[in-house]
Amino acid sequence: MRYIEPTRVKVLMMMFFATGSIGILIGLSGFTPANFKIMITFMGVINLGLGAFFTFLFLTQTKKDPDKRKKKKHRD
C-alpha cells in the first residue's frame, strides 16, 4: 500500500472514530425512529472499523525514504 502522511492518517482516524461513536450513541438512544436505529448503529460500527484500519496503518507503516534519483551527487 502507498505511504500516507502521518498527519492525514491521524485526521482520518479521529474523523472515523468520532463519527462512529456518535453514530452508535445516537442509534442506541431514543432520539431516532425505530426503523432507523439498526441502520444508524450499523453505520457507526462500520466507521469504528475504518478508524481501527487507519490506526493499524498509522502504527505499521514505515517512514518514507527520500528519492535517491533526485539527490545530487558530490564529486570530490
pTM (2 d.p.): 0.76
* 75 domain-assigned: no
* 72 domain-assigned: no
Neighbours of 23 (CB within 10 A): 20
pLDDT band, very low/low/confident/very high, at 6 (cuts 50, 70, 90): confident
Task: Match 441502520 to its residue by C-alpha cell.
Answer: 39
What domain count does the chain have?
Answer: 1
* 73 domain-assigned: no
44: Cβ–Cβ under 8 A, 6 or more apart, which residues?
19, 20, 21, 22, 23, 24, 25, 26, 27
* 66 domain-assigned: no
* 68 domain-assigned: no
Q: Is the per-residue pLDDT at 72 higher than 80?
A: no
Measured distance CA(63)–CA(74) in Å, rounded: 25
* 52 domain-assigned: yes
* 40 domain-assigned: yes
* 67 domain-assigned: no
